[in-house]
């Protein structure tokens, strides 16, 4: 059956050679494409830049005015690419532009000064990236087009080489064999806490993930292009080992008010944007969303036996000033899972014995200010605060208490907060030389509270009887980066990043970074990047009280985990819309927290001498088996990645990625073992085809998209069935991840129908996630109801219907 769907996808893509676009003689629906063009470093508007808007049949010209503004007027609905040129700047091609009648397309293009390159710069976003290594640009249009993304950039990123989701229920991704805890989320250029609803999604015990969740708190229709980086980062990026998701808001329309309404399985999504002051160009963008499952819950209907709800509100204000631009933004989100224990006769699995309530709150707010200074200097300052709170309350069912052992009443609470001031100065000494210096100053706060008991919790949290640890410290990150382009063939990046965490004297790192891109002949480019990187531990790792003690060991004394990262790449560009890319990487991790000693353990419990934080998945997993740690472990990730990409031009696109990798960790006794994320291989094929018709004033687009994924199985801990039966709970035979799960296979389909009328446009879509209903194993555990070791599977077939209206 798997091969039937693979062949169907290949057949679908093969139809590209017979693509037909039917333009009737009647006037077609149209809309405005306009925008501005600026210097990417100084924000200076570029007067007289030439722009060309191109589709499959014709091109529309435009020239920018003294403010950098340009317009193509009203052009027919459809797909376009924009080519921007200015003397002394690199030519830039913005691909995959979708114009619909319900919304103007406003594009803010940023050109990079420098010598002419052998090939034109091709991007899916609007801003050039200074990274010369592993970086991808995710556009909002792609998020809305790719199959089974949940309208989430992180889920889309799993189509890229080296990126694997740890569970279908969440966007908790492992990048190049690293723990998802190594991934950092950024908003407006600053690191923020986990910006996801339902951070307990897909976990074993409904406990929060450090960097993932069921749904991103930011709706895709708020986002500008998102940068996703997977390794050997430039100096401006710090405090990460396993990837960066760098999101930015888009600005609202500065000339007219526009609205978007969306309804589907994810929820009800309402957005509005427009000018606050047409003379100054001030704009607003606001979005509110409420979950579909929450609406069901209000009617007393549960989804999968649980009452699942989330809602969020986001605002972005862009306020041009006399000398620069000020932006104000805020995000607030709340989510919950409520599962009620079942009666004895209805219980089918262990979870049915307990009532579990999980609540999560997340908020982000801040401002950015950008100003051009004299002598080609630019100043950018950001002040961003973010926080999330997670609580979990577990109580046994009424008829369960007498048959339970241990502490069936449980309450957990964790808090994570950041407040960051970021100052950055950029100077272009000459067209081929660029200097960047900056400083992140972050107040870092974390807390973790745990209560366990044999009786009802009652008012224990409010009475302060929860055992809670609190820590606060400063994270200081200065950096400098110098970029030099001595010729059209060669670009060099070099710089330093420092990481200083004031929690203890062990947390300092001075990190050299260097990267180079060389284009020996037209269409061919070689890249090489090296960086030393470091990252703080998760708050739960610092704060958990070990179950046993080791002399002179305190988890609050843990230093930064560090890694050398080396990436070599080769890219061949067939034309401006298609390329082949190969990358090889080597990551050597050191100063990794591992178990300090075997300790004195009861004979019924496993020895934790092989524990490493490189296997950390959910943040309270460690709290359940907290042990003393020392920075004496190591890790090693190696891999080879291959990517072929054909952007959406001439009505079809294709993305084929493959990776071979190995992920290991070393314990205190010197043994090398597989990490839980060592699946060894991953292959993804994503593609789609559009059919466009026009009749009278109506334009219709049918889109057919598919994705097929074949991944090596992750690792799991073997369960000791006999010991588990005696304990009435899961007891692992070993803490090592020595059991490999079966290979993972999933096929997704997405079909959409777009219709553009004169004043509005509509999109009706259907996603079929896991269309073959493949049974992919997630983990194993001992089920006290079934009295045996049970395999837990990931999501089966899930249809997602969505309707979108723009006007």
**Sheet strands (E) in 194-266:** 196-197, 215-216, 226-231, 244-247, 258-264
Q: Is 181 helix (H, G, I), strand (E, B) or coil?
A: helix
**Sheet strands (E) in 40-116:** 50-54, 59-63, 69-76, 78-85, 92-99, 105-111
The pLDDT of residue 513: 97
| pTM of the predicted model as reported, rounded to 2 decimal places | 0.90
Number of H helices, E strands in the chain: 8, 45
Determine the straight-line distance between the first and last CA of the chain, rounded to whole angstroms: 42
The pLDDT of residue 462: 42
The stretches in the chain having pLDDT less than 50 are 1-27, 117-119, 124-126, 460-466, 599-607
Cα(384)–Cα(247) distance, rounded to whole angstroms?
A: 13
DSSP letter (8 states) at residue 297 = H
Tell me if 708 sits within 8 A of 9, measured CB to CB: yes
The pLDDT of residue 347: 86
Task: Count Cβ neighbours within 10 Å for each residue of 635-663 and write b for 16 or more, e otherwise.
Answer: bbbbbebebbbbbbbbbbbbbbbbbebeb
Which pair of tokens denotes residue 474? Answer: 């400063």
DSSP states of 335-392 as a string? EEEEEPPPPGGG--SGGGGEEEEEEEEEEEEEEEEEEEETTTEEEEEEEEEEEEEEEE
The pLDDT of residue 121: 53
Q: How far is residue 501 from each of residues 236, 239, 476, 642, 795, measured CA to CA in Å?
A: 17, 10, 6, 37, 40
Which pair of tokens denotes residue 302? Answer: 């549960």
């Amino acid at each position: 059956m798997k091969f039937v769907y693979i062949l169907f996808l290949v057949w679908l893509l093969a139809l590209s050679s017979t693509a037909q676009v039917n333009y009737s003689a009647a006037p077609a629906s149209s809309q405005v494409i306009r925008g501005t063009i600026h210097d990417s470093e100084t924000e200076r508007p570029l007067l007289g830049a030439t722009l060309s808007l191109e589709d499959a049949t014709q091109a529309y010209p435009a020239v920018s005015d003294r403010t950098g503004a340009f317009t193509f007027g009203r052009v027919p609905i459809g797909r376009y690419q924009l080519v921007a040129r200015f003397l002394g700047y690199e030519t830039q091609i913005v691909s995959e532009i979708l114009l619909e009648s319900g919304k103007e397309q406003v594009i803010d293009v940023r050109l990079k000064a420098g010598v002419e390159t052998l090939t034109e710069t091709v991007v899916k976003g609007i801003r050039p990236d200074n990274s010369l290594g592993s970086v991808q640009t995710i556009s909002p249009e792609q998020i809305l087009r790719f199959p089974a993304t949940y309208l989430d950039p992180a889920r889309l990123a799993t189509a890229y080489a080296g990126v694997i989701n740890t569970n279908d229920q969440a966007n908790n991704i492992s990048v190049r064999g690293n723990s998802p805890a190594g991934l950092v989320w950024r908003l407006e250029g600053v690191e923020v806490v986990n910006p996801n609803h339902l951070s307990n999604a897909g976990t074993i015990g409904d406990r929060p993930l450090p960097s993932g969740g069921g749904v991103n708190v930011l709706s895709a229709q708020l986002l500008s292009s998102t940068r996703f980086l997977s390794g050997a980062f430039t100096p401006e990026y710090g405090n990460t080992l396993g990837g960066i998701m760098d999101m930015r808001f888009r600005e609202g329309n500065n000339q007219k008010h526009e609205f978007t309404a969306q309804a589907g399985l994810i929820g009800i999504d309402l957005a509005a944007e427009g000018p606050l002051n047409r003379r100054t160009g001030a704009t607003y963008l606001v979005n509110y969303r409420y979950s579909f499952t929450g609406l069901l819950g209000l009617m007393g209907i549960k989804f999968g036996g649980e009452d699942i709800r989330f809602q969020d509100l986001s605002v972005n204000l862009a306020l041009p000033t006399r000398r620069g631009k000020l932006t104000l933004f805020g995000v607030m989100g709340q989510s919950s899972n409520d599962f009620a224990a079942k009666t004895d006769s209805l219980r089918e699995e262990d979870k049915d014995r307990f009532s579990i309530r999980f609540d999560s709150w997340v908020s982000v707010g801040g401002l950015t200010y950008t100003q051009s200074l004299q002598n080609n200097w630019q100043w950018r300052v950001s002040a961003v605060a973010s926080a999330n709170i997670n609580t979990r309350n577990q109580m046994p069912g009424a008829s369960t208490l007498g048959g339970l052992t241990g502490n069936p009443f449980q309450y957990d609470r964790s808090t994570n907060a950041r407040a960051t001031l970021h100052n950055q100065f950029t100077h272009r000494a000459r067209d081929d030389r660029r200097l960047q210096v900056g400083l992140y100053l972050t107040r870092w706060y974390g807390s973790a509270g745990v209560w366990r008991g044999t009786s009802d919790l009652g008012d224990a949290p409010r009475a302060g009887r929860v055992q809670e640890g609190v820590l606060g410290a400063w994270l200081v990150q200065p950096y400098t980066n110098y970029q030099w382009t001595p010729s059209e063939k060669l670009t060099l990046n070099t710089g330093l990043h420092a990481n200083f965490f004031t929690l203890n004297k062990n947390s300092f790192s001075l990190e050299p970074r260097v990267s180079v891109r060389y284009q020996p002949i037209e269409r061919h480019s070689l890249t090489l990047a090296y960086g030393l990187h470091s990252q703080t531990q998760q708050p739960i790792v610092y704060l958990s009280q070990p179950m046993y003690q080791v002399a002179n060991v305190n988890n609050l004394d843990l230093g930064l985990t560090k890694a050398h990262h080396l990436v070599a790449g080769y890219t061949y560009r067939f034309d401006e819309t298609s390329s082949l890319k190969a990358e090889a990487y080597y990551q050597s991790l050191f100063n990794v927290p591992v178990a300090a000693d075997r300790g004195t353990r009861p004979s019924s419990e496993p020895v934790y001498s092989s524990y490493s934080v490189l296997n950390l998945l959910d943040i309270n997993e460690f709290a359940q088996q907290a042990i003393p740690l020392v920075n004496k472990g190591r890790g090693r990730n190696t891999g080879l990645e291959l990517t072929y990409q054909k952007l959406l031009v001439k009505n079809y696109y294709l993305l084929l990625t493959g990776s071979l990798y190995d992920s290991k960790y070393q314990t205190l006794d010197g043994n090398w073992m597989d990490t839980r994320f060592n699946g060894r291989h991953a292959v993804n094929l994503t593609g789609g085809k559009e059919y466009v018709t026009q009749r009278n004033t109506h334009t219709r687009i049918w889109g057919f998209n598919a994705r097929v994924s074949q991944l090596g199985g992750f690792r799991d801990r073997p369960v000791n069935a006999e010991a588990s039966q005696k304990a009435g709970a899961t007891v692992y035979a070993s803490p090592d991840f020595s059991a490999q799960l079966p290979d993972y296979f999933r096929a997704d389909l997405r079909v959409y129908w777009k219709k553009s009328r004169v004043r509005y446009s509509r999109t009706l879509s259907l996603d079929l996630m896991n269309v073959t209903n493949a049974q992919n194993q997630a983990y194993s555990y001992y089920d006290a109801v079934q009295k045996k070791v049970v395999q837990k599977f990931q999501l089966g077939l899930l249809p997602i219907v969505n309707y979108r209206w723009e006007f």
